[in-house]
Amino acid sequence: MQTPAPSPPSFPDPKREAILRHARRSFITEGYAGAKIEPIARDAGVSTATLYALFDGKAELFTAVIQDAAVDFDRLMRHVRTASGPARERLTGFAIAYAGFMADPFIRSVFRLVMAERPRFRDVAMRFFDRGKADFGKVLIDALGELVERGELRIERTSWAAGQLMGMIEHPVFFMPLVTGDEVMPVRAVDQIAADAVETFLARYGV
The rounded average pLDDT for each run of 10 residues, N- to C-terminus, in the chain (207 residues) is 50 89 90 92 97 94 86 69 81 90 82 74 75 78 94 96 94 88 86 96 96
Residue 119 lies in a domain: yes
CATH of the domain at 69: 1.10.357.10
Q: Which domain holds residue 199?
A: 65-205
pLDDT value at position 1?
Answer: 44
Kindly state whether residue 3 falls inside one of the protein's structural domains.
no
Answer whether residue 11 is part of any domain: no
**Residue 75 · residue 132 · CB < 8 Å:** no
C-alpha 124/C-alpha 117 separation (Å) is 11
| pTM (two decimals) | 0.72
Has residue 118 been placed in a domain?
yes
Report the alpha-carbon distance of residue 202 to residue 200 in Å, rounded. Answer: 6
Rounded Cα distance, 5 and 83, in Å: 33
Residue 140 included in any domain: yes
- Give the count of domains, the chain: 1
Structural domain includes residue 106: yes
Q: What pLDDT shows up at residue 126? A: 75
In a domain, 2, yes or no: no
- Asked if 132 and 73 touch (Cβ cutoff 8 Å), the reply is yes
Is residue 143 included in any domain, yes or no? Answer: yes
Looking at residue 83, its pLDDT comes to 66
